[in-house]
């Protein structure tokens, strides 16, 4: 069994026989084990636009009600994988090793890398950082970076790329192929010694 934390209600983690999905209604911050996790903590407070959101709307950078800290704690305690947007400010805030594209890198007891979810079927580029607690180096990923079919930006100053803009739900959705690789990684997870 794998616990999928901070996932979309009714999304790709629901309806699988070996996955226990925790959406907003279940409050994944309350997860107390015992299974390895795939964690997708809220990213709006940590992403590249977080300072703009702070200036414009008063949403403080890093204020995610403890979601990232909880997800990190779950990965450390139960093993598994945490996914967050590339360039996430949470990495610096929690002193995590910086990922590189094209390989896994070890640091602080974790394995980290950067991938494009486009390589796994997302219509936009959606570069992503992964943090894994595992006994050994995780299996190689598809580190390719295919041309996007759509964009996730809703800012007018990003110019007109000619690509269609995705809805917020589609932009944040996890492609099934990416879900499957994350679940596979979590199944080889390392638990912290009791």
pLDDT tens for 151-186 read 886 555 455 668 888 888 888 889 999 999 999 999
* This prediction's pTM: 0.90
Q: Is 21 helix (H, G, I), strand (E, B) or coil?
A: strand
Give ∠ CA 94-99-105 in degrees, rounded to 5. 105
pLDDT tens for 39-58 read 999 887 787 777 777 788 87
- 98 in any annotated domain: yes
pLDDT confidence of residue 194? 41
- 193 in any annotated domain: no
H or E element, residue 85: strand 80-85
State percent of the chain over pLDDT 90: 67
CATH number at residue 132: 3.40.50
- 194 in any annotated domain: no
Phi and psi at residue 153, to the nearest 5°: -75, 135
Q: How many domains does the chain have?
A: 1
By the 8 A CB rule, do 184 and 120 touch? no
Boundaries of domain holding 163: 2-187
- 192 in any annotated domain: no
Give ∠ CA 137-138-143 in degrees, rounded to 5. 115
């Amino acid at each position: 069994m794998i616990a999928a934390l901070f996932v979309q209600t009714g999304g790709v983690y629901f309806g699988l026989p070996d996955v226990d999905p925790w959406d907003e209604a279940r409050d994944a911050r309350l997860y107390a084990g015992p299974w390895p996790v795939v964690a997708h903590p809220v990213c709006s407070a940590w992403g590249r636009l977080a300072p703009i959101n702070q200036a414009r709307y008063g949403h403080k950078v890093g204020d995610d009600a403890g979601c990232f800290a909880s997800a990190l704690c779950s990965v450390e305690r139960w093993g598994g994988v945490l996914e967050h947007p590339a360039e996430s400010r949470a990495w610096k805030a929690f002193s995590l090793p910086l990922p590189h594209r094209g390989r896994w890198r070890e640091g602080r007891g974790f394995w980290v890398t950067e991938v494009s979810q486009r390589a796994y079927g997302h219509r936009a580029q959606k570069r992503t950082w992964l943090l894994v607690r595992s006994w050994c180096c995780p299996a190689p990923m598809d580190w390719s970076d295919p041309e996007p079919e759509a964009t996730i930006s809703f800012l007018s100053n990003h110019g007109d790329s000619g690509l269609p803009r995705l809805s917020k739900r589609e932009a944040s959705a996890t492609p099934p192929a990416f879900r499957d690789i994350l679940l596979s990684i979590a199944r080889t997870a390392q638990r912290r010694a009791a």
